[in-house]
Amino acid sequence: MERKVRFPLKLKNGTEARTIEELQANFDLESVLSYFVEGKLYTWFADRYYIDKAKAVNALSADTPDLNQKLCDILGVEYQKTVNIWTFFAFQQFDISSSTSKKVTYPKIEMHTKNTQFHAIIILR
């Protein structure tokens, strides 16, 4: 039987979280949202036998009301309403350092939700 390689979650501060305690101590919502959207958060929990947390994450979708709050609850960290999901996707999709205006769509969001509030065009300057 092959041994399964467990990947760490790389967080914004450079920490590679291999345990739930490391994830809680170095928590940043932007990274967790990224792993959630990619499906890696579920896999990370399942690989470490956090079955209840894996099931709870799997039950969520990008349409879930109060998604950020629910992810924080699952992880056992305090929710601080400071991250805007639009900011998360904007920084994930393209370089915003350009001085020209760009119209940008979010096909990555559209793959995960039918909720039209996420199907927006944003103009960056």
Domain boundaries, the chain: 9-75, 93-124
- The strand pair at 122-124 and 9-10 is best described as unpaired
Above 50 in pLDDT, residue 58? yes
Structure confidence at residue 14 as a pLDDT band (50, 70, 90): very high
Residue 55: its pLDDT value, please? Answer: 96
Structure tokens at 27: 């928590």
Instruction: Determine the average pLDDT of the residues in 63-71.
Output: 90
At 69-114, the pLDDT tens digits run 999 999 999 988 754 555 455 444 444 444 444 444 445 545 555 5
Give CA–CA dist 99/87, Å, rounded. 18
Structure confidence at residue 47 as a pLDDT band (50, 70, 90): very high
